[in-house]
């Protein structure tokens, strides 16, 4: 079906302070793709496509009220399909890595794509980031649904997934995930947005100040598979107090060498009852913009753009090495193979639930 000519459609409830508009955003194999924009009364907004649930922009003010887009990305659907390093998308059915693309469940071994040689990464060759999700707008929320059939990308079970996005008057992006299965399977969903609080296209994130609510992290081997759990104390991974990202990234350290910088999961000090907990606070001193991440997940992957390499982005801006960072709420990498990690197994009759909030703000 060919996309319609551009015509924004007002979709939100008149009673809601947040408006939702949509516009055609191209097509894939004859199926139309749509871009939705959620805007609050202050004019701050987030745009999300039903292609991969991709957050394409987050436009928020700095300490002087100047608006800027703080999410790295592209202008067109074609660019996301051709060259995206997972900008802004839902990653799944299993985010992060599974060692050698194999795991056992109930005595059966399952084999997945090794698309990050020698490991499986972010759901495989055609993960959730490359699927067109069914989209509806309910009140002022964008609701995406996708059914992953049994055997897709090697995973067992038909998995029905719903991801709901809500944008508040306080510039917070709420992302709620739910999923169910008809066979035992593994699941780990996250959002893979890249942030630069100066604005996308700014040169670096190394001067951003980061604090993570974690006293432990997962060291990794040279292929980025966790080797256990270790304390952050007296290491470059101690972000228990606000610390400039670039202050220790160049020190001689085996873990920084293995990750080519920071690309590690941090073990969050979460509550036992699954309530939302503050995971990380990011601050950019010049703009005054802040990002607070809260989640129900047990871990958060901090990745500092080690593989960005002069990638042309929005408006022809060049995304330089370490000019964007990710804070991905998740369970631990390779947890299907590491029994001491939180279990990623979902069984019939159970419901996978996760909430992550990206709260944008300013410090004065």
Q: Is 30 domain-assigned?
A: no
Q: Which domain holds residue 191?
A: 83-364
d(CA 252, CA 269): 28
Query: Residue 122 catalytic?
Result: no
Q: Is 2 domain-assigned?
A: no
Looking at residue 5, its pLDDT comes to 35
Tally of CA atoms within 13 A in the half-sphere of 164 that contains its CB: 13
pLDDT one-digit tens code per residue, 189-211: 999 999 999 999 999 999 999 99
Lowest mean pLDDT among 83-92, 245-254, 269-278, 350-359: 269-278
pLDDT mean across residues, the chain? 95
Burial pattern 339-357, b for ≥16 Cβ within 10 A else e, equals eebeebbbeeeeebebbbb
* Interval 117-133 mean pLDDT: 98
pTM (2 d.p.): 0.94
Looking at residue 6, its pLDDT comes to 32
Strand, helix or coil for residue 236 = coil
pLDDT one-digit tens code per residue, 63-111: 999 999 999 999 999 999 999 999 999 999 999 999 999 999 999 999 9
| 84 Cα distance to chain centroid | 13
Looking at residue 214, its pLDDT comes to 98
d(CA 85, CA 2): 27
Looking at residue 16, its pLDDT comes to 56
Q: Is 211 domain-assigned?
A: yes
* Interval 112-141 mean pLDDT: 97
Q: Supply the CATH number for residue 309's domain.
A: 2.70.98.10
pLDDT one-digit tens code per residue, 290-349: 999 999 999 999 999 999 999 999 999 999 999 999 999 999 999 999 999 999 999 999
Q: Is 89 domain-assigned?
A: yes
d(CA 200, CA 313): 9
| 217 Cα distance to chain centroid | 19
Look at residue 172 and tell me whether its pLDDT is greater than 80.
Answer: yes
Sheet holding 263-268, edge to edge: 230-231, 214-217, 263-268, 299-303, 326-330
Question: In the numeric block, which tokens belong to residue 311?
Answer: 């990638």
d(CA 234, CA 237): 8
pLDDT one-digit tens code per residue, 216-250: 999 999 999 999 999 999 999 999 999 999 999 99
Looking at residue 274, its pLDDT comes to 73
Strand, helix or coil for residue 330 = strand
Instruction: Evaluate whether 21 touches 10 at the Cβ level (below 8 Å).
Output: yes
Q: Is 17 domain-assigned?
A: no
- Of the candidates 120, 122, 192, 264, the residue annotated as catalytic is 192
Count of domains forming the chain: 1
Query: Residue 82 catalytic?
Result: no
Closest C-alpha among 56, 50, 46, 57 to residue 166: 46
Q: Is 75 domain-assigned?
A: no
d(CA 255, CA 166): 37
Q: Is 187 domain-assigned?
A: yes
Question: In the numeric block, which tokens belong to residue 271?
Answer: 């509550």
- Percentage above 90 pLDDT, the chain: 93
Peptide bond into 156 cis (omega under 30): no
Question: In the numeric block, which tokens belong to residue 201?
Answer: 């296209």
* Interval 178-189 mean pLDDT: 98
pLDDT one-digit tens code per residue, 2-13: 333 333 444 444
Looking at residue 207, its pLDDT comes to 98
Q: Is 19 domain-assigned?
A: no
d(CA 237, CA 246): 12
SS3 for 53-84, per residue? CCEEEEEEECCCCCEEECECCCCCHHHHHHHC
- Of the candidates 152, 153, 284, 328, the residue annotated as catalytic is 328
């Amino acid at each position: 079906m060919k996309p319609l000519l551009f015509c924004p459609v007002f979709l939100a409830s008149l009673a809601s302070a947040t408006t939702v508009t949509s516009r055609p955003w191209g097509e894939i194999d004859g199926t139309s793709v749509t871009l939705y924009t959620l805007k609050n009364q202050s004019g701050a907004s987030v745009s999300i496509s039903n292609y991969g649930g991709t957050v394409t922009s987050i436009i928020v003010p700095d300490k002087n009220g100047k608006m800027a887009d703080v999410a790295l990305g592209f202008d067109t659907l074609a660019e996301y399909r051709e060259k995206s390093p997972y900008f802004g998308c839902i990653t799944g059915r299993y985010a992060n890595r599974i060692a050698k693309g194999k795991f056992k469940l109930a005595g059966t071994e399952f084999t997945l794509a090794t698309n990050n040689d020698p490991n499986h990464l972010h759901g495989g060759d055609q993960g959730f980031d490359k699927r067109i999700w069914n989209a509806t707008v309910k009140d002022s929320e964008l609701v995406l649904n996708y059914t992953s059939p049994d055997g897709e990308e090697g995973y067992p079970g038909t998995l029905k997934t719903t991801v709901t996005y809500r944008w508040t008057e306080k510039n917070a992006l709420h992302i709620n995930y739910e999923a169910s299965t008809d066979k035992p399977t593994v699941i780990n969903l996250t959002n893979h947005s890249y942030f630069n609080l100066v604005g996308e296209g700014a040169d670096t994130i190394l001067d951003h100040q980061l604090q993570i609510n974690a006293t432990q992290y997962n060291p990794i081997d040279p292929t980025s598979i966790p080797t256990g759990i270790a304390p952050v104390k007296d290491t470059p991974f101690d972000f228990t107090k606000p610390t400039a990202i670039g202050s220790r990234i160049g020190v001689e350290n085996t873990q920084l060498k293995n990750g080519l910088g920071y690309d590690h999961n941090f073990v969050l000090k979460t509550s036992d009852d699954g309530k939302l907990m503050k995971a990380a606070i990011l601050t950019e001193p010049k703009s005054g913009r802040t990002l607070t991440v809260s989640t129900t997940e047990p871990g958060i992957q901090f990745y500092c753009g080690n593989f960005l390499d002069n990638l042309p982005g929005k408006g022809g801006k060049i995304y330089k090495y370490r000019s964007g960072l990710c804070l991905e709420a998740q369970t631990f990498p390779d947890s299907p193979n590491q029994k001491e990690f939180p279990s990623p197994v979902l069984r019939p009759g159970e419901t996978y639930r996760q909430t992550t909030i990206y709260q944008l703000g300013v410090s004065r």
